[in-house]
Chain A
Amino acid sequence: MTVLLSLENLSVHAGSKALVSNLSFSLNRGERLGLIGESGSGKSLTSLAATGLLPAGLSSSGSAILAGKQVIGASDRELNQLRGTAVAIVFQEPLTALDPLMRVGKQVAEPLARRAQRDGTPLSGAALDKAVLALLDEVALPEPQRMATSYPHELSGGQRQRIAIAMALACKPDLLIADEPTTALDVTTQAEILGLLDRLVRTRNMALLFISHDLPVVANTVERVVVLRQGETVETGDVAEVFGNPRHDYTKSLLAAARRLDDAMEGRA
């Protein structure tokens, strides 16, 4: 198996404050890894650092090798070649992840045309439209024709997230990073989106880096987990092992909290 993403002692700093410290893990092709922890534990920063998209004012150190190339310290031009080819991200909030003033079909066409250009098989006109509709169909959107000409505000949250996933798929990435992709959705829609992600990752043989604080969702989606707390790795391993037999107090408390919620929902508390 080829290693797609390999982090070694990755740290993210804001000035002198460490937001992520000495994080190490690696991800192979077709593998699914969960990055879990509470809000502010550095999950999203890790994904941004791994793709060289840290906001101004934050700096990263250590090593992040994406598709064989060092990301830390690389120029934007070099990184642009990696982004949209090796990796794509699905964000938490589907409303802000779509341009409010652009028809969604065009937003999907944009990365699709770029990837085709890079592959040396440029797409345009009717062929591009057809590829867009095929992608919308692949993410199980009803009436792709009508969807393609809609603006984001005319779609539901679940439909928007499917568009965002279609935009990520348009890049034909080897690694898909899903940053809390279901947090902003209601429970039934969550299940549908998770099912969709699961199916896409399997059929396209992508690696998945799944970022979430929702333990049951993580347990059902990934094979391995890394538990983060205040930017530090607390525990890492097979998902069944970590969740079944947590060694660290923090993991235990996360699991206990999730269990209490379950119990309360089922009226057992």
Chain B
Amino acid sequence: MSTATMTAPTEKKSHPLALKAGLLLVGIHIFMGLLTLVWLPYDPTAMAGGRLEGPSLLHWLGTDRLGRDLFTQMMIGSRIALIVGIGAVAIGAVIGVTLGLLAAFASKWLDDALAATLDILIAFPTLLIAMLVVAASDTANLWSAIIALGIALSAIVARLTRILAKRVLVMDYITAARTSGSGWPKIVAIHILPNIWPTLSVNFALQFGLAVIAEASLSYLGLGAPPPNASWGRILQEAQGTVYTAPLGAIAPGIALVSLAIGVNLLADGLRDTIDPTRRAR
């Protein structure tokens, strides 16, 4: 049995183009997001042109029903999506990995209790949990959405971490490290985390895509960033009434969402192949 089949039984090596395509897609959004910090084509809240204008040299994607420039809104949407994705995954990762490791090391009944709790949490759709958390907080804003999504994602991360850590814990090299007098904190830091990281990181990318789409859904429902923040979900929601006269208002956020989610996944797949020495050069 080769090492690769042991650490990652069902994962295939990704296509060499995947990394480049992922870099390109994510790069575009990161560029747009960063650009909004220093420059915007128009004031996002001002009437920059006529209402529901089609694409033109002045307004690349046209304008919305209030005459605001759609391209400007989309750029801000990129920034919000990245903040939400990174924020939610970071929160989910910290809570999830901690809980997962705790469960992996816990006594049997505590582990069983944690596992059952996680399974129940995962049984609820991410969006539903996020909506509950947002509804429970006083004000709906971007941060409450991020925290809500982070908490919802942490259950998935925790369950995965628990399983991965348990699989590493029974390996001989852990016993070998213990016989040589290594303490648990050190073993977690140098053996367990590096060995679960390749699988975890790909999962984080999946969660990132999930978080971005979930935030768009929250915004669509009016539970995300309040106006005038131009989240893709809000752009979509505002454009739905005029979808036949100005279809770009609905198409653009859809393409942006999908391209970011796919881009992050391709990037993670490609990066994992680069990070993991057992998958290199084969």
* B-binding residues in A (CB < 8 A): 48, 51, 53, 55-57, 76, 80-85, 87-89, 91-93, 95-102, 107, 110-111, 114-115, 118, 151-153, 164, 167-168, 170-171
Contact = CB atoms under 8 A, between A and B. Distances in A.
B179 A84 contact: yes
A91 B171 CA distance: 11
A101 B198 CA distance: 10
B176 A80 contact: no
Given A51-B179, A84-B181, A98-B173, 8 more contacts: A83-B178, A83-B180, A84-B182, A91-B172, A100-B7, A110-B177, A153-B277, A167-B180
A97 B181 contact: no
A100 B3 CA distance: 7
A96 B181 contact: no
22 contacts: A48-B175, A51-B179, A55-B170, A57-B108, A81-B181, A89-B175, A93-B172, A97-B172, A99-B173, A99-B191, A99-B194, A99-B195, A100-B3, A100-B278, A101-B7, A101-B276, A101-B277, A110-B177, A111-B180, A111-B181, A114-B182, A167-B176
Contacts of A168: 179-180
Interface in B1-40: 1-4, 6-7
B125 interface: no
Interface of B: 1-4, 6-7, 108, 170-173, 175-184, 190-191, 194-195, 276-278
Contact of A114 (B172, B181, B195): B181
B176 A97 contact: yes
A183 B187 CA distance: 27
Nearest to B171: A96
Contacts of B173: 96-99, 107
A99 B6 CA distance: 12
Contacts of B170: 55
A101 B278 contact: yes
B179 A89 contact: yes
Contacts of A95: 1, 3
Nearest to A47: B179
